[in-house]
Amino acid sequence: MDNFAANALQENMLSYEGFRHAVLEDYRIVVESRETSLLGRKEVLTGKAKFGIFGDGKEVAQVALSKFFQPGDFRSGYYRDQTWMFASGIGNIQQFFAQMYADPNMEHDPFSAGRQMVSHFATPNTDENGEWLNLTVQKNVAADMAPTAAQMPRSVGLAFASRLFRNSETLKPFTHLSNNGNEVCFCTIGDASTSEGHFWETVNAAGVMQIPLAIFVWDDGYGISVSKEKQTTKGSISTALKGLQKRPGTNGIDIYTVKGWDYAGMCEVFENGIHKIRETHTPAIFHVEELTQPQGHSTSGSHERYKSPERLQWERDWDCLKKMREWIIENNIATNNELVEIEIEAKKKVLQSRTNAWKEYIQPIKEQAAKVIKLVQAVTVNDIDTFNQLQTLAKQLQKHTEPLRKDVMKTMAAAVAVAKNYPGHSGLLDYYQQLKDLNRSLYNSCLYNEGPKAAVKIKAVQAEYGAGSTVVNGYEVLNKYFDLLLNNDARVVAFGEDVGLIGDVNQAFAGLQLKYGDNRVFDTGIRELTIMGQGIGLALRGLRPIAEIQYLDYVVYGLEPLTDDVASLHYRTNGLMSCPLIVRTRGHRLEGIWHSGSPMGMIINAVRGMYVCVPRNMVQAAGMYNTLLQGNDPAIVIESLNGYRLKEKLPSNLLDFRVPLGVPDILKEGEDVTLVSYGSVLRIIMDAAARLEKENISCEVIDVQTLLPFDMDHSIVHSLKKTNRIIFIDEDVPGGAAAFMFNKVMEEQQGYRYLDVAPRTITAKAHRPAYGSDGDYFSKPNAEEIYEAVLALMAE
């Protein structure tokens, strides 16, 4: 008998009965989860579900882990954690199957409303009004993602938040967000995914910062068909990480190794390890070895293709269910008959849960189909060909015993077209529109917040200037603004490369670390990926992070968590979670290939679900920060890199005025041509416009202010109605943001109706900007180019 069971037997019978009950309850969960995986695979292979990826082989490790996952803690996991979620009470088997069937009913799949594939869990962090929930009384789950290792960066922020809550006096009042920083972030990852850079950057950042991060590596020996010997140095991630092991007097991480079939051993190691993390904020890796894949990697292939017969036999012999079952019997915790009874009941429960989930999913679609068939058959026609077409459509839909919503919509669309001008057509058309509206809400809603905390609903407040308003450098505007902001809102923290000690490379935070402390304004390493992750995690936990990427060109390093996590979060959870991250960066015109980029087309197409603000000066930037901080939507604010030393008048209501999102600003009114742009190039446009005035050409210059959202009131078209001529000017490459603006105004806003001549775009060249002032001049739009383009336009 091992120490775990022996210690339990030394206590009184009541305690032993409690221990026995707990073990058998864990075994029940383990068996139910395995049955769920087995039946789930069958559902995919029979066509009821599209794809399946399951947690079979990891059940015992996860049920052991679940014992130490407490209210207030956060999980940042991946798509094989179903057993853990069942054991924690966050998800159940019927919900699992509902998600597998992509059921868009939030009551059936409360994690994503069918928008994510199976085993993607989430818990809410705000209520229906956008107010933060009491996160300390619930077990929290940051919405799962499928990209390998994508869960790693945000884990840094989720754990780092606990350090801030523990160490920052200004955060002590926020008791609904943290219990004095006692929360642990539990992060899980498959062994093969530890080869990703995300993993290494996360582990290094955690070791440097000393944050309560517990990383569990599920090691089943393979990354699909590639063995770990070809994935990891020395074939072992725990061995490869030994240089990071924390020693007395150093930072670093703790490293534990356990066997994934050893229930008792894992309980003991996890208990001690998590306790230490919670108390000391020392991060740790738990390398869970000797796991198996009873069904292979996923439903897309068979592991018999790449595993030897010997390996397959080993996996059967060392299956964690088999080993836990043997351990229970060997230690006289239960008899074989008792375990058989648990196993029989588990099969029944899983089967019933599957049946219930499928019925709830398919019934509404069948009802829609029945109504469509009835409406189609009710159309009165006096043409035999039309009659036959309608009857064929009805019969084809009737043949679908398990129709999809798209089958219903295709039939409706065809019937509406065929039945045109016949009695009954209006009924078809009305129901078709009803279904369109319903499906739009099911599949196309919640990209951004839609309630009171929607950033686009924040009303404008004009900047105010008194008689004694001073004129200062742009960076001084921001410095004064951030000073007021940090003093006013304890939830705001700012960080990034060189942000702390020197106050960022352009001095917007100069002196503010000294004033507010290094828990409010602080430096990071050169690690854009986990700077973004740090911001994501802090935002998910109710803080208001301003995460800086030093130059716009470097956004590429941190783009993956922004596009895969932040931008999709509100959508993929159907509004369940918000992440009010503000990414602060600077770009546009300067000098050199990697310090003057404007990759706006790339950014706006990668981060739909975030807002993209492009202020032309620092006063406008401050107003945008104010607006964003009133809402719960994430955003990127791109300050003009060459504007920090330009003079601006300082508003008297610096902390209170708000620039509305999606509302362009007319910088100069005109009658002859509309010039549309944003950011630094507006100064060049205004120079060209002044020269054109001397030619009796009146230019209307419009600053779009935000690219996402873009001109929500169609004010650019109002200008175009007056001028009948338009040029879109942009520092991005040809086909980048200029093409985006062109599409919005010409097609979406139907601006083409008001044109007298063909519209134009003026962009940067296709290559990166050459170094030096001449490189800037010839690589990006210049005043002469704009001047000549307007003259040519007016000559047509």
Whether the predicted pLDDT of 591 surpasses 90: no
Whole-number pLDDT of residue 139:
98
* 11 phi, psi to nearest 5 deg: -85, 175
Q: What is the mean pLDDT of residues 37-62?
A: 92
Tokens representing 723 are 């001028």
Q: How many CB atoms lie within 10 A of CB 264?
A: 20
Whole-number pLDDT of residue 594:
86
Whether the predicted pLDDT of 1 surpasses 50: no
Measured CA angle at 482 (ends 481, 487), to 5 deg: 105
Contact 603, 616 (CB under 8 A): no
Nearest-Å Rg of the Cα atoms of the chain is: 30
Contact 769, 733 (CB under 8 A): no
Contact 321, 251 (CB under 8 A): no
Residue type, 522: F
Q: The whole model's pTM is what?
A: 0.95
Q: What is the mean pLDDT of residues 626-647?
A: 96
What residues act catalytically? 595
| pLDDT single digits (tens) 688-727 | 999 999 999 999 999 999 999 999 999 999 999 999 999 9
Whole-number pLDDT of residue 7:
53
Q: What is the mean pLDDT of residues 199-223?
A: 96
Across the strands, what pairs with 286?
216, 256
Report d(CA 796, CA 791) in Å as an integer. 9
Report d(CA 5, CA 31) in Å as an integer. 21
Q: What is the mean pLDDT of residues 772-782?
A: 92
| pLDDT single digits (tens) 503-532 | 999 999 999 999 999 999 999 999 999 999
Q: What is the mean pLDDT of residues 118-143?
A: 97
Whole-number pLDDT of residue 460:
95
Report d(CA 365, CA 4) in Å as an integer. 52
Which pLDDT band holds residue 3 (cuts at 50, 70, 90)? low
Whole-number pLDDT of residue 14:
54
Whole-number pLDDT of residue 12:
46
Q: Quickly list DSSP for 700-740.
A: EEEE--EEES--TT-HHHHHHHHH--EEEE-SSPTTSHHHH
Q: How many CB atoms lie within 10 A of CB 318?
A: 16
Long-range contacts of 430-438 (CB under 8 A, 24+ apart): 431/371, 431/372, 431/375, 435/368, 435/408, 435/409, 436/409
How far is residue 228 from each of residues 58, 211, 302, 331, 350, measured CA to CA in Å?
17, 28, 18, 34, 33
What burial letters (b/e) apply to 107-145, b meaning 16+ CB within 10 Å? ebbbbbbbbbbbbbbbbbbbeeebebbebbeebbbbbbb
Calculated CA dihedral for residues 200, 201, 204, 207, nearest 10 degrees: -110
Q: What is the mean pLDDT of residues 583-589?
A: 90
Whether the predicted pLDDT of 10 surpasses 60: no
Contact 571, 623 (CB under 8 A): no
Single out the residue of 403, 733, 793 nearest to residue 599, CA to CA: 733
In 478-534, where do the E strands start and end? 492-496, 521-523
Report d(CA 517, CA 407) in Å as an integer. 60
Tokens representing 211 are 């944050």
What percent of the chain lies above the pLDDT cut of 90?
A: 88
Tokens representing 141 are 């789950």
Contact 585, 548 (CB under 8 A): yes
Whole-number pLDDT of residue 573:
97
Give the strands of the sheet with 254-259, arranged side by side.
Answer: 140-141, 74-76, 185-190, 213-218, 284-289, 254-259
More confident residue, 157 or 9: 157
Tokens representing 274 are 């998590």
Least confident of 136-150, 205-219, 304-318: 304-318
Q: What is the mean pLDDT of residues 28-56?
A: 93
Report d(CA 707, CA 685) in Å as an integer. 18
Q: What is the mean pLDDT of residues 675-679?
A: 97
Contact 141, 150 (CB under 8 A): no
Least confident of 20-34, 378-392, 437-451: 378-392
Residue for token pair 């508003």: 651
Whether the predicted pLDDT of 487 surpasses 60: yes
Report d(CA 674, CA 666) in Å as an integer. 10
Whole-number pLDDT of residue 376:
93
How far is residue 183 from each of residues 436, 536, 678, measured CA to CA in Å?
44, 17, 43
Whole-number pLDDT of residue 6:
47
Single out the residue of 244, 270, 264, 245 nearest to residue 184, CA to CA: 270
Whether the predicted pLDDT of 501 surpasses 80: yes
Whole-number pLDDT of residue 13:
44
Average pLDDT value for the chain = 95
Quick one: DSSP state of residue 763?
Answer: -
